[in-house]
Structure 1
Amino acid sequence: MATSIFFFVLLFTTVLSRTTPDEASRTKTLDITSSIQKILNPFSVKTFNSFKQEENTVSSSSLLSFQLHSRVAVRGTSHKDYNSLTLARLQRDSTRVKSLQTKVDLVVQGIGKSDLKPMESEFQAEKIEGPIISGTSQGSGEYFSRIGVGHPPSQVYMVLDTGSDVNWIQCAPCADCYQQADPIFEPAASSSYSPLNCNTQQCKSLDVSECRNNTCLYEVSYGDGSYTVGDFVTESITFGGSSSVEKVAIGCGHNNEGLFVGAAGLLGLGGGKLSFPSQINATSFSYCLVDRDSDSTSTLEFNGKTSPDAVTAPLVRNSKLDTFYYLDLTGISVAGNAISVSPLAFKVSDNGDGGVIVDSGTAVTRLQTDVYNTLRDEFVKGTRHLTSTNGVALFDTCYNLKSMKSVEVPTVSFRFSNGKELPLPAKNYLIPVDSSGTFCFAFAPTSSSLSIIGNVQQQGTRVSFDLANSLIGFSPNKC
């Protein structure tokens, strides 16, 4: 009898030790008090702050490293309350997503480079029509780096964008330039400035270009009506005030339209031939996106190693569209249980449609409507103990948590084809939308077949793009 009891106790203890960690992984704790305190930060920064005089420092993990700042840290906000700030962010985000979807649609419809309309030879801005919306559709200006351009280097803010390839900066003389934080770049003051001729591979790689006196002209237009037009040149790009890369092809824009939040231009981090990583032959790059409401900084690094504790997933390329970085996502789980989705929901089709991209410029993760509905319904089942409230903008699942200090919510995890799983922190999928305690489930449906992992879900995580080994790594708390 004693022996039987002993084995029963041993069996019970063994089962308990195996199930307890799993049970613990089914939920995440959301710190309500901390989240609400953080959203007060944007209103303490009113103008461009002291980062304007900063010089980059060389990171210990990579010789090629830029400082990385959130939009709030650089610009502050003119909004009077957090709700209006949230609505403005979501409006920019919707424009951004529409533009990315349009890129894919053009590929699926078979519209290639040769089908694009050439630019007006006299830089006639009035010929390019469309509404001008705060922020850009390609890189809405949520994260910035301080970069040196030219010799001697002029320090400027650049928008970071994994969904774009062409790098560009506003240049004098300006036929039409928007307001930026730093002085307009003066090509005549740089000894490394060199125009590209029309026969160069860089010029031929542009989607829209024109030749004038054997000088290459470029145009990049965005889905919200913003655009940049000018000379396509090579310049020196400086890291850390000392390390530099020579002869990087960039657009020198003399005619630029749109409100780019004071940035001098855009640094394209996409997978195309003209992107910055491609031009410097980077084997990898990584970034850590700090909290969007924080004034802290992180780094954008090139040629560093992925952290040993990173959760890695296969990096998939679209043969029809080389700009985007596709993630081999196979499923999503809620509280440890995989939701039911079609095996094709996350796959890139032969015609270039579908798939899941990791994007620095999109804020809220977008999923196909059927997938989103299933995910949301499973999450709602696990949050019946919370008080629901009306939806906000594109968020249809929101809660009134004003009387609570912390809550337990179901864990949401991404599952990859290599069998690995990435559990998200609760603050990366249940976010405040006002200062009154309203929190919303930060995913949204899309009618497009393209799914997007947005920067809300990436915050606080170092995202590594191992280009040499076709892997994307996620390292929590490595900012």
Structure 2
Amino acid sequence: MAREAQRPFPSINIFIILFFFFFALSPFSPQAVSASVFKRLQLFSTEKAQPTSTSSVLSLSLHPYSSIIKPPNNSYSDLVRSRLASDRARAKLINSKIERALSTFNRPHDIKPDAQVQPEDLETTLTPFGGGYLAQVGVGQPVKEFFLLADTGSEINWLQCLPCDGCSSVSRSIFDPSGSSSYSLLSCASQECASLGENRNCQADPCMFITSYGDRSTVEGEFATETVSFGSSGSVDKVAIGCGHTNQRGGASGILGLGGTPVSFPSQIQATSFSYCLVDRDSGKSSTLEFNSAPPGDSVLVPLIINRRIEVFYYVELTGITINGEQVSIPASAYQIGQDGSGGIIVDSGTTITALPAQVYNSVRDTFVKYAQALTRTSGYDGGLVKFDTCYDLSSNPTDGYPTMSLDFSGGKTLPLRPANYWFRVGDSAKNCLAFTVTTQPVSILGNIQQQGMRVTYDLANKMIGFSPNQC
């Protein structure tokens, strides 16, 4: 169905002049400037269809992955090893995506936006696994419910669709676009299609998307708009979403991309904020993923830093970790984004274990051990790609002896952690290990163990991230 053309942006020439003048003073390269201009001019495309705008709070139920999709593992130990393997693969892929983006900025002459994208050329950050969280989303008219992986490291929304080659057989997991009156294919010339970037595979209408993973498996299909429903809290029309007809990934019905790009879910529904509360991943409980809700009054608010070289991720500046009142300092260079866009630490909903540079990790570990002498220390744990060297036997269920711990952010903000935010249970027994590991990657990741049990608010309008304990 053809869209009604909107009036052109009235001051586009003035906008271009001012934009180039502003960035002429920036430390970024001319190539980065031109790429940034292109991205932002896309926002004023006369073809862009405006989704229903709303400032009301929209809410989805949010569930631990393994409470909805039962893992095939024979024991909890097997599940842990699977989670850890996927966790490190995800962390590596996030760094690969960032490195690729930075390389692209330095080589703009190599960019061929209309060239066909090959699966072997792509790497994205998504690796579905049992440590993530699933949002229950209504799609289409009439509405049908699907469980999509809520992922701050992904910019594309997609779900598996009929007809489908290799789709998961999980109950209610495959969408039939022919049964929805609100399903509308997008053209290759559309703003939404252009915003796909490397994930665009468009030789002729309709627009096609393709996304690939570290194991070279892919999801590909049509890019379309559809009505998305939020239980009883409302619905939004014309949300851009991929309809995957080839899917080599199992488990979840698809992805709810919460990253910071024009084609992500928050952007598509024009949300001023989104927030989630992650319950214990081993529980059968659920919480909510909310859009347009204000941060709770007791939130610890820290600056949300946008890396202009790669917009999908949400960065913060970690300055220290305090244990029993003793601060382990973190060098400023460790968690600040460099002039070339490298480095820094991101907050991620899908990564489990927080990774620290070796020097920082060693100081955190040694300080923790010093203040945990009342607990029973045991041998380390080898999880394959992840090895823990600081573990304790908590089978006696001690009520005290736990060190206090907090994360320190720029601006003098401090986030207290509960013991549950720094322990990771590694087997069927009561063996728990310190939930941090060493990374040699240039970008660090604040994992979801440190986020469990608190409402994490991404205040997009004010560029802040809020952490509010006990708000699930």
- Smaller-chain TM-score range? 0.7 to 0.9
Q: Does 1:146 align with 2:136?
A: yes
- Structure 1 residues 140 and 317: alpha-carbon distance in aligned structure 2, compared to 1, 3 A threshold: farther
Aligned to 1:398: 391
Aligned to 1:244: 235
1:36-115 equivalence runs, <5 A = 63-110=57-104, 114=111
Deviation at 1:351, TM superposition (A): 1.3
Report if aligned partners of 1:339, 1:374 keep a CA contact under 8 Å in 2: yes
Aligned to 1:180: 170
Question: In the alignment, residue 465 of structure 1 is paired with which amino acid?
Answer: Y
- Structure 1 residues 245 and 313: alpha-carbon distance in aligned structure 2, compared to 1, 3 A threshold: same
Question: In the alignment, residue 117 of structure 2 is paired with which amino acid?
Answer: M
1:57-456 equivalence runs, <5 A = 63-110=57-104, 114=111, 118-119=116-117, 137=127, 142-206=132-196, 207-241=198-232, 243-259=234-250, 261=251, 263-392=252-381, 393=383, 394=386, 395-456=388-449
| Mapped partners of 2:174, 2:287: distance in 1 | 26
Q: Which moved more, 1:72-81 or 1:273-282?
A: 72-81
| Mapped partners of 2:102, 2:173: distance in 1 | 41
TM-score (norm 2): 0.82
| Mapped partners of 2:215, 2:128: distance in 1 | 9
Q: Which moved more, 1:197-206 or 1:213-222?
A: 213-222
| Mapped partners of 1:431, 1:141: distance in 2 | 12
Question: In the alignment, residue 77 of structure 1 is paired with which amino acid?
Answer: P
| Mapped partners of 1:440, 1:183: distance in 2 | 35
| Mapped partners of 2:186, 2:122: distance in 1 | 30
- Structure 1 residues 70 and 303: alpha-carbon distance in aligned structure 2, compared to 1, 3 A threshold: same
Aligned to 1:5: none
The count of corresponding residues between Structure 1 and Structure 2 is 408
Query: 5+ unaligned residues in a row in structure 1: which ranges?
Result: 1-60, 121-126
Question: In the alignment, residue 223 of structure 1 is paired with which amino acid?
Answer: G
| Mapped partners of 2:68, 2:439: distance in 1 | 31
Aligned to 2:462: 469
| Mapped partners of 1:444, 1:335: distance in 2 | 20
Question: In the alignment, residue 380 of structure 1 is paired with which amino acid?
Answer: V
SS in 1 for 2:146: strand
SS in 2 for 1:267: strand
> Higher Cα Rg: structure 1 or 2?
1
TM-score (norm 1): 0.80
| Mapped partners of 1:339, 1:356: distance in 2 | 17
Q: Which moved more, 1:198-207 or 1:61-70?
A: 61-70
| Mapped partners of 2:129, 2:467: distance in 1 | 21
| Mapped partners of 1:103, 1:468: distance in 2 | 26
Deviation at 1:183, TM superposition (A): 4.8
1:324-348 CA-partner distances (Å, limit 9, x unpaired): 0101222221211211331211101
Question: In the alignment, residue 95 of structure 2 is paired with which amino acid?
Answer: Q
Question: In the alignment, residue 95 of structure 1 is paired with which amino acid?
Answer: A
Deviation at 1:295, TM superposition (A): 0.6
| Mapped partners of 1:147, 1:307: distance in 2 | 24
SS in 2 for 1:152: coil
Report if aligned partners of 2:126, 2:153 keep a CA contact under 8 Å in 1: no
Report if aligned partners of 1:138, 1:163 keep a CA contact under 8 Å in 2: no
Report if aligned partners of 2:57, 2:233 keep a CA contact under 8 Å in 1: no
1:102-130 CA-partner distances (Å, limit 9, x unpaired): 1112123336792687336xxxxxx7599
Q: Which moved more, 1:404-413 or 1:423-432?
A: 404-413
| Mapped partners of 1:248, 1:203: distance in 2 | 12
Report if aligned partners of 1:328, 1:346 keep a CA contact under 8 Å in 2: yes
1:156-179 CA-partner distances (Å, limit 9, x unpaired): 111110000100011111233233
| Mapped partners of 2:279, 2:287: distance in 1 | 7
Deviation at 1:71, TM superposition (A): 1.4
Report if aligned partners of 1:136, 1:224 keep a CA contact under 8 Å in 2: no
User: How much identity, in percent, do the aligned residues show?
Assistant: 46
SS in 1 for 2:202: strand
Aligned to 1:51: none
- Structure 1 residues 107 and 277: alpha-carbon distance in aligned structure 2, compared to 1, 3 A threshold: same
Question: In the alignment, residue 257 of structure 2 is paired with which amino acid?
Answer: G
- Structure 1 residues 79 and 139: alpha-carbon distance in aligned structure 2, compared to 1, 3 A threshold: closer
Question: In the alignment, residue 435 of structure 1 is paired with which amino acid?
Answer: D
Report if aligned partners of 1:107, 1:352 keep a CA contact under 8 Å in 2: no
Report if aligned partners of 2:275, 2:455 keep a CA contact under 8 Å in 1: yes
| Mapped partners of 1:143, 1:421: distance in 2 | 26
Question: In the alignment, residue 114 of structure 1 is paired with which amino acid?
Answer: I
Aligned to 2:38: none
- Structure 1 residues 335 and 389: alpha-carbon distance in aligned structure 2, compared to 1, 3 A threshold: same
- Structure 1 residues 305 and 91: alpha-carbon distance in aligned structure 2, compared to 1, 3 A threshold: same
- Structure 1 residues 390 and 108: alpha-carbon distance in aligned structure 2, compared to 1, 3 A threshold: farther
Deviation at 1:399, TM superposition (A): 1.5
User: RMSD of the alignment, in Å?
Assistant: 2.3
SS in 1 for 2:449: helix
| Mapped partners of 2:233, 2:380: distance in 1 | 49
SS in 2 for 1:458: coil
Question: In the alignment, residue 174 of structure 2 is paired with which amino acid?
Answer: I
1:365-424 CA-partner distances (Å, limit 9, x unpaired): 111222112211211122234332222222221112334433422222111112110011
